[in-house]
Chains A and B, each alone.
Chain A
């Protein structure tokens, strides 16, 4: 039982990171209806910004960690908006496939640039936060795991407030519902889309820093697998659906942790895709999504 709870806890902290990345995917899909393949590499850049910022701030302090997190988020928000402006905006209205290929191109560009500028060898992420282990009736919770869960929850609450309580959030929901109608009532789609990219990328950066805190070995290709899995999480919850992405991320993290703790551990990378296939075959709208009917 204790082991079960321990795995559940580990799963939730991994799932919280997936959820943060998945939110970016789902928001971009909501407003633009395409898969932003470069998102997983924004996550990687976030971890690297955290790495460089982490060497400046004093180690083992709480405010240092906060500064690193905010710097990474701001940097990636800019990067996300830049990518959108340069690569995706000129293709607005082009066939999905072309946008998809562009996204893949941007993703490769970030990965290869990372390999040239940061080097392909893994680097050790500095221990920015003070670390301690809390034991609670047989359960071990590291302070990093705790930070992951707390930060992720705070960010998700923040996102919920932005989306539902602010004007720009309302505009985001309007664009995701119907971009043309939103334009007709005076929403500036370009601004909203740019903002969405910034917001999503900032969350991915937070995910990157948190991921690096727990798995302190970062390299330019670190984003590929978490990115794909977070995308699966977004679909699992229902793509375009913000609470769905959070739910999907947590579920996926938990399932993956249980699989890697079992005798099937070598299949842990396959499980996410198996879930993806099953969900797409039986409930393509996702757990929280609403099925759409195709009209002829």
Chain B
């Protein structure tokens, strides 16, 4: 079996093992670990767009919110009509409903990604960043105005379906899919698009197509992450997905070293844990966090975990 598949299998088994941890974990630790898992999904999926394909998207939180809202809508409004009261249903039904909710959220986010991507991916660099930022904010305002989805108050009483095993499993699948996609023959096109769009087009690749595929896949996973987040926090508001959230995800990708899968995962872990570790200094922690961000950019502009490529020997 190829190595990525083994890794996926091992991490799924590990995730399952975690869920059957004797005595269970400390709730606080569980909370942090779930947060880490969700951030890994977000960062790794964004890495496909920002790192591998070289497009700068600032709207990831927008897609996350689409997933969060739509999957919550499935759990809250659709599922009770199909299977009756969720809490009365068996674990298998509950799991199936949750999976359906996550996948629905993912697909809706992917659709949103397609709608956003097709017009905006003609733009580059700063401009693309701004358009995605604009779309993210527009999605937020739209959710604020949909009464069925709670308007500005958001949705609450979402069933607590997210468990650590779900988060870890989805994170493992995300890493696996993104890795296999980029390492495939088809996926070389992402790197070609990043390295030189004109050259890529000259050898017969379609850069726009690659950009859109990257965008849609990333949006899908952001949507799933949003679904996990909603069923973990149990209450969501439109303001929870504003552009500071997008920036957090972008920062993870950049600190990890764009296009460096392991680095991005480490950065997601680090940036989730950092505010927790800094909790003792309470109000100053966010100052320190932003200061660290600036210092890291000044001192290690290539990303925290990006090291010079190993040269082939000989």
Contacts and interface: CB of A to CB of B under 8 A. Distances in A.
Interface stretch (A99-107, A149-157, A179-187): A99-107
B187 interface: no
Contact of A100 (B126, B284, B298): B126
A91 B287 CA distance: 21
A90 B301 CA distance: 11
Given A104-B251, A116-B283, A116-B284, A269 B290 contact: no
B284 A105 contact: no
Interface in A44-87: 87
B300 to A, nearest CB: 10
Interface stretch (A132-140, A200-208, A271-279): A271-279
A108 B293 contact: yes
Given A267-B141, A273-B137, A104 B130 contact: no
Interface string B115-126: 000011011011
B198 interface: yes
B301 A94 contact: yes
Interface in A261-296: 266-267, 269-270, 273-274, 276-277, 280-281, 284, 296
B135 A273 contact: yes
Contacts of A98: 254, 297, 301
B79 to A, nearest CB: 29
Nearest to B283: A116
B251 A277 contact: no
A277 B129 CA distance: 11
A280 B298 contact: no
A258 interface: no
Given A109-B294, A235-B130, 6 more contacts: A91-B297, A100-B56, A267-B145, A270-B138, A276-B130, A280-B123
Contact of A109 (B244, B250, B290): B290
The CB with the most chain B CB atoms within 10 A, among A95, A101, A228, is that of A101
Interface in B113-154: 119-120, 122-123, 125-127, 129-131, 133-135, 137-138, 141-142, 144-145
6 contacts: A101-B251, A112-B289, A112-B290, A281-B120, A281-B122, A281-B123
Contacts of B142: 270
B32 interface: no
Interface in B292-314: 293-294, 297-298, 301
Contacts of B251: 101, 104
Contacts of B138: 270, 273-274, 277
Contacts of A105: 290-291, 293-294, 297
A270 B290 contact: no
A97 interface: yes
Contact of B247 (A35, A95, A104, A276): A104
A290 B293 CA distance: 35
Contacts of B126: 34-35, 96, 100
Contact of A284 (B123, B133, B244, B294): B123
B208 to A, nearest CB: 14
Interface residues of A, number: 39
B13 interface: no
Contacts of A101: 250-251, 254, 293, 297
A144 B195 CA distance: 53
Interface residues of B, number: 40
A98 B135 CA distance: 23
B286 interface: yes
A109 B287 CA distance: 5
A178 interface: no
A70 B131 CA distance: 36
A108 B286 contact: yes
A113 interface: yes
- List of 3 A-B pairs having minimum Cβ-Cβ separation, nearest first: A273-B134, A105-B293, A108-B290
Contacts of A232: 134
B123 A102 contact: no
Contacts of B287: 109, 112-113, 116
A228 B133 CA distance: 10
Nearest to A102: B297
Interface string B63-84: 0000000000000000000000
Contacts of B141: 266-267, 269-270
A277 B294 contact: no
A281 B119 contact: yes
A273 B140 CA distance: 11
B125 A96 contact: yes
Contacts of B137: 228, 269-270, 273
A266 B144 CA distance: 8
Given A116-B287, A274-B138, A280 B145 contact: no
B185 to A, nearest CB: 26
A276 B131 CA distance: 7
A250 to B, nearest CB: 20
Contacts of B123: 280-281, 284
A104 B254 CA distance: 12
Interface in A222-249: 228, 231-232, 235
